[in-house]
A = this chain, B = another copy of it.
C-alpha cells in the first residue's frame, strides 16, 4: 500500500494516470506527449506506477501499451480513508472547538 501512496505523490504520475483514464492503452510515445521531459523520465515514472500495480503493460510489436488499473486507488479510498469517516460531518466544528477550547476535558 505504501507503494501506491508513494506513486500517487508525484503530480506527473497522477497526470499519467489521468491520461490513461482518458484514453486507455496508450504507447510510451503517446504518453510522453505534453510532458516537458525526456522519454526516459516518463519511462521511470511509468515503472513506478507499474510497481505499484496502478498500470499494467503489454508489448505489441515494437510498441508498449499501457493500461490503467484503478483498483489500488479504490482499495485505499475504501480501506484507509474509511477509517477517518466516522465524525465526518462534524469534523470541522470539532476541530474549531478544539483549537479555541480551553482544555475541554479531552486530556
Contacts and interface: CB of A to CB of B under 8 A. Distances in A.
Interface of A: 2, 5-6, 8-9, 11, 14, 17-18, 21, 24-25, 56, 58, 60, 65, 67-71, 73-74, 77, 80-81, 83-85, 88, 91-92, 95, 98-100, 103, 106-107
Contact of A95 (B8, B69, B74): B69
A62 to B, nearest CB: 14
Contact of A58 (B21, B60, B99): B99
Contact of A83 (B21, B25, B95): B21
Q: Is the interface of A mostly helix, strand, loop or mixed?
A: helix
Contacts of A11: 2, 5
Contacts of A67: 95, 98-99
A106 B67 CA distance: 11
